[in-house]
Structures are given as structure tokens and as C-alpha cells.
Structure 1
Amino acid sequence: MLFAVIGTSAGKAREEVMAIFPRHKAFLDQFLARGEVVGVGPFTDPEGGNMALFRSRAAAEAFAKADPFYLEGVVKEYRIKDWGDNMLS
């Protein structure tokens, strides 16, 4: 089982997002280096937001509560959902 962290956009301007991006990326890189992230990226529809798939709930929760995008208001909220990919089983 994987754990999806789904972020809801707070509607910030691109300039605001990009100002925070280096801190977000450095934080995310820690999880990537430990192999805790399967995939990550923004949604490309007009609603925006983002999603990341984590290998453990603990890693997903740690990311969701301390990501600079969340702490600095780019992401309004993160939801964590259990996700089972039957193809991986």
C-alpha cells in the first residue's frame, strides 16, 4: 500500500510559489534521498494543487505537516489517503 498526499492550492501567484519552491524542494529531497517517495508533482488542470505518493504513512504525515509549501501558505491543506495499486501487488 502507498499513501497519497494530496495538496489543495491556496491560489498563490506563480511568483509567490517560486519564491518558496527552493525550500520545498530541499525538504522534499530529504524524502527522495531516503527512498520514501514513489512519485510527486503538480496537477496541471486549472484547479492546481499537487500530489505525492509515499511508501509509508509516517513519511506522508511528516511531509504534510512540515512542507514549506504548507507552512508558508502555497498549499491550503494536505489530505492523506491510502492508495492501493493492484498492479504492484
Structure 2
Amino acid sequence: MKVLMFYELAEDGLSKARAHATSHQARLREFHGRGVLLMAGPYGAPPVGALGVFTSRAAAEEFARDDPFMLNGVVGKCTIHEWNEDLA
């Protein structure tokens, strides 16, 4: 089982993203380096949100709790869902 974390941009989130991108990306690299974040990235053109694939709910919650995008109003909504991947 994996855990999906969905970010939805705040109404004015895109305009705030650039100012916090470096610290957000550092957090992504930290969690990926620990092996608890498998992949992440924005979706939509232009972006309307982002998706992260984590190894546990605890890791996804920890990431979101102190993510600069969450703390500085880039993200308007965060949801976390369990995902039973099926490779068949």
C-alpha cells in the first residue's frame, strides 16, 4: 500500500509559489532521500495542484505539516488517501 497526497493550489497560490519553491524543493529532496517520498510533482497546465506518493500516511502528514507551501498559503487544500496499487 502507498499513500497519495493531493495539494490543490490556493486561489492566489501560484503567485506565492516562486518565493517558497527553493525551500519546498529542499523538503521534497529530504523526504525522498529518507525513502518515504517515492515521487511528486504538479499537475495541470497551468498547474492546479500537485501529487505526492508516500510510503506511509505518517510520512505524508509529516511532510504537509511543515511544508513551506502549506505554511505560506500556496496550498489551499491538502487531502491524503490510501492507495492499493495494482500492477496487474
Asked if residue 41 in structure 1 is aligned to residue 41 in structure 2, the reply is yes
Asked if residue 84 in structure 1 is aligned to residue 84 in structure 2, the reply is yes
> Structure 1 stretches (4+) deviating beyond 4 angstroms?
none
Q: Residue 78 of structure 1 aligns to a residue in which SS? A: strand
Letter in 2 for 1:27: R
Q: Residue 61 of structure 2 aligns to a residue in which SS? A: helix
Please report how far the alpha carbon of residue 13 of structure 1 lies from its aligned counterpart in structure 2 after TM superposition: 5.9
Superposed CA deviations along residues 24-66 of structure 1, whole A, max 9, x for unmatched, are 0111111011111111000124571111000111101101111
Pairs within 5 Å for 1:30-69: 30-45=30-45, 48-69=48-69
Greater CA deviation, 43-52 or 63-72? Answer: 43-52
Letter in 2 for 1:63: F
Please report how far the alpha carbon of residue 16 of structure 1 lies from its aligned counterpart in structure 2 after TM superposition: 2.3
Q: Unaligned regions of 5+ residues in structure 1, if any?
A: none
CA-based RMSD: 1.8
TM-score by length of 2: 0.88
TM-score by length of 1: 0.88
